Structure 1
């Protein structure tokens, strides 16, 4: 294996970076139900103080054909070229507490080398604990708090927060590999998988980003400004609820999800929120079909509103 340190360029001398900080990792590219990770990254970088420490080599890690760079075309010429970026930042939360943020795309190539590079950074910067966030679609209702599945070696947090604890096989992400390698060397790590309503998986669901930030806060004590996200979530949920209230079929489908969710959370015999009972569990397609027109309208915004 080539030297993992050659995968990134140092942008800020490591000897100027405080040691013993938390490392928060949020990589996009797989699943990202409700755009939880995308929103979380954008929100943190746009609202908090950030200083780039290291940037990874996209030519070595990224499949440009799968995730093409963005250009700006101005009438007859290109004015900007923006490739995807994967970087490590030194951040400050709302109270000025410092932490590290690994943010950007999930690598397409060289996972083992990338994992070794991240572990090397964890060692060099004497990271206190590595926390990462991911999101998947689940048959749960939007009228209940977003739950999480917790992994890693911080057992107290897993016992307190993990609402779904399956034994299963699933497609891995690069952060799964990093968590696995961190555990092998005895480093502290915890992962949060957000369980997002499956019928909202393809939307930008503000509650998913909020749940991600709250999970990180629970594991680190960091404080994040979420007022804007909460305002957006109130508007989003109000619109969804209005749509549901005006459609008896939607009310029935969401009600079935609520009953199953509540029964599971009350220690019912159900093995998981995914357990199927004939006729009781609405599919994503059933709900998505009912919400399709509403969500399409929301994406357009108010462009069709008279007088605008």
Structure 2
């Protein structure tokens, strides 16, 4: 393996990073349901004081043809090209507590080397805990709080917060590998997988970002300002509820999801909140046919045209 340290460049401000801070991570590119991770990173960097500590080499890690950068064409010339980035930041939360944030694109290549690089940075700064978030689409109702599945070696968080503990195989995120490698060393890690309603997976769902921030707070004690996100979430949910209330078939299907969710959460011996007694996952087709058509094309932010 080539030197992991060659994958990233350290900034001059890196020397000012104190030891023993928590690391928070979220990478985009795979199954970011409800845009939870991308919203989280954008919101944190927009609202909290931060300093760039390290930048990873996109030319080594990114498949540009799969995830092309965006450019701005201004009448007759290219005025700007927005590059994809993967960086480590030193951030202060709402109370001034410092933490490290790893955010940006999920690497397409060199996962083993990337993992070794992250472990190297964890060791360099003697990181106290590592917490990461991920979101996946699930047949759960939008009318119930977003649940999480918790992984890692922090059993207190698993017992207190994990609503679904399956034995299953699924495609990995690069941070799964990081978690596994850190766990082998005994480093305290927790991964939060948000279970986002499948019919809202292609939207920017503000409540998903709030759930991600709340999970991080539970694991780290960090405090985030979420008033703006919560207000956006209320406006978003009003629009969703209007669409559901105006369509009998949608209302019936959402009610079915609610019933299965509530039965599971009340301790009934269903194997999962996502299935019925026969183990069948409810179909997304009817919901997707109408609700996704309305929501997936744009972010619902209060005012706007009412496309259905």
Same topology, TM > 0.5: yes
**Does the 8 Å contact 2:13/2:51 carry over to 1?**
no
Once structures 1 and 2 are overlaid, which stretch shifts more, 94-103 or 7-16?
A: 7-16
TM-score by length of 2: 0.95
Alignment of 1:1-308 (within 5 A): 1-276=1-276, 282-295=282-295, 299=299
Change (3 A) 1:300 1:257: closer
> Is this contact kept in 1: 2:34–2:203, CA < 8 A?
yes
Q: Is the 8 A contact 1:61 1:108 kept in 2?
A: yes
TM-aligned CA deviation for residue 269 of structure 1? 1.4
CA distance in 1, matches of 2:137, 2:23: 25
SS at match of 1:109: coil
Q: Aligned partners of 1:300, 1:14: CA distance in 2, in Å? A: 39
Q: Against the structure 1 CA distance between its residues 163 and 29, is the aligned structure 2 distance closer, same or farther, given a 3 Å change threshold?
A: same
- How far did 1:2 drift? 0.7
Summarize deviations over 1:181-225 as a string: whole Å, max 9, x none: 001111111000000001111111111000000000000110000
Deviation track 1:96-138 (CA, whole Å, cap 9, x = no partner) reads 1000000000000000000000000000000000000000011
Structure 1 pair 108/222, CA: closer, same or farther in 2 (3 Å)?
same
CA deviation after TM superposition for structure 1 residue 296, in Å: 6.1
**4+ residue segments displaced more than 6 Å:** none
TM-score normalised per structure 1 = 0.95
Q: CA deviation at 1:277?
A: 5.2
Q: Which secondary structure state, in structure 2, belongs to the residue aligned with residue 169 of structure 1?
A: coil
Superposed displacement of residue 12, structure 1 = 3.2
Q: Contact 1:12 / 1:52 at 8 angstroms: preserved in 2?
A: no
- The answer to whether the Cα contact below 8 Å between 2:260 and 2:276 also exists between their aligned partners in 1 is no
Q: Which runs of 5+ in 2 are unaligned?
A: none
Structure 2 vs 1, CA of residues 65 and 296 (structure 1 numbering), >3 Å: closer, same or farther? closer
Q: Which runs of 5+ in 1 are unaligned?
A: none
SS of the aligned residue for 1:67 comes to coil
Aligned partner of residue 12 in structure 2, secondary structure = coil
Q: Once the 2 structures are TM-superposed, how far is the Cα of residue 14 of structure 1 from its aligned partner? A: 3.5
Q: For residues 254 and 278 of structure 1, what CA distance do their matches in structure 2 show?
A: 19
How far does residue 77 in structure 1 lie from its aligned partner after superposition? 1.2
Q: Please state whether the residue corresponding to 1:90 is helix, strand or coil.
A: strand
User: Whole-Å Cα distance in 1 between the matches of residues 98 and 76 of structure 2?
Assistant: 45
The separation in 1 between residues aligned to 2:220 and 2:265, in whole angstroms, is 26
CA contact (8 A) 1:9 1:55 kept: yes
Alignment deviations for residues 143-174 of structure 1 (CA, whole Å, 9 cap, x no partner): 00000000000000110000000011111110
Report if aligned partners of 1:256, 1:280 keep a CA contact under 8 Å in 2. no
Once the 2 structures are TM-superposed, how far is the Cα of residue 4 of structure 1 from its aligned partner?
0.4
CA–CA distance in structure 2, aligned partners of residues 72 and 192 of structure 1: 35
Size of the alignment, in residue pairs?
305
